[in-house]
Amino acid sequence: MRQRLIAFARPAARAVPALIVGLVALSTSSQAARPELGVWYDDSGQGAVEIHICADNANRLCGRIVWLKDPLNAEGVAKHDRYNPKPENQNRPICGLQILGNLGLMSDGGFDGGWIYDPKVGKSYSSALVLSGNDQLTVTGYLGVKMLGKSFTWRRAPSDLPRCEGAPPKA
């Protein structure tokens, strides 16, 4: 029995250092070292999300809206999170709103285990993302089973993209 446990533990022992190295690389990386970091146009082209290292966990990725093609509603007022199911959150401005959180680095190089919030419908989903090219990011939202989720392609935004009012300053 002891031999079987040792044989089982060996592959895991090799995987753990690789995962630790990956997490350390994430927590100490710059934008050049983690190509997922930066500003990305969403699949609609109507908004842009800045992906950054989470403030409360240096081993995770988060993201917030920093640009909107149309930042004002029909009345000329800044758009708010009006579809949020929590009434106390419905007055939050869309610009600067965190919509990605807690995405952890996986052994395959992608990120998973996080969440994404869609302010257009006021719903949150489990989320994963993977770099699918230098300037393409595949973002998947899912409930329970990732294979049954929906994937979207985000494209890298130019570095000089102006930020909407309410967005935090450039990191």
Place of tokens 């959180």: 101
Asked if the model's pLDDT at residue 157 lies above 60, the reply is yes
- Look at residue 94 and tell me if it is in a domain: yes
Q: 53-93 pLDDT, tens per residue?
A: 999 998 999 999 999 999 999 999 999 999 999 999 999 99
Residue 40 placed within a domain: yes
At residue 4, does pLDDT exceed 50? no
Alpha carbon distance 92, 98 (integer Å): 10
- The answer to whether residues 110 and 129 touch, using CB atoms and an 8 Å cutoff, is yes
Q: How many CB atoms lie within 10 A of CB 35?
A: 14
**Which residue did the predictor score with more confidence, 8 or 80?**
80
In this prediction, residue 30 carries a pLDDT of 42
Does some domain include residue 165?
no
Number of domains in the chain: 1
Domain annotation covers residue 164: no
Side-chain-side CA neighbours of residue 152 (13 Å): 14
163 located within any domain: no
CA 99, CA 50: separation in Å to the nearest integer? Answer: 10
- For residue 82, the enclosing domain spans 2-156
- Taking all residues of the chain, what is their mean pLDDT, rounded to a whole number? 85
DSSP string, 15-60: HHHHHHHHHHHHHT--TTT-TT-EEEE-TTSSEEEEEEE-SS-TTE
3-state DSSP call for residue 87? helix
Q: Which tens digit of pLDDT belongs to each residue from 94-130?
A: 999 999 999 999 999 999 999 999 999 999 999 999 9
Q: Is there a domain that residue 162 lies in?
A: no
Whether 99 maps to a domain, the answer reads: yes
Q: Give the type of residue at 35.
A: P
* pLDDT for position 168: 82
Task: Check which CATH number belongs to the domain holding 112 and give it.
Answer: 2.40.128.520
pLDDT tops 50 at residue 7: no
The two tokens of residue 142 are: 């899912």
Of the ranges 18-22, 25-29, 166-170, the best mean pLDDT one: 166-170
Q: 33 falls in which pLDDT band (50, 70, 90)?
A: low
- The pLDDT of residue 170 is 79
Q: Residue 38: name the closest of 21, 9, 13, 63 by CA.
A: 63
Residue 147 lies in a domain: yes
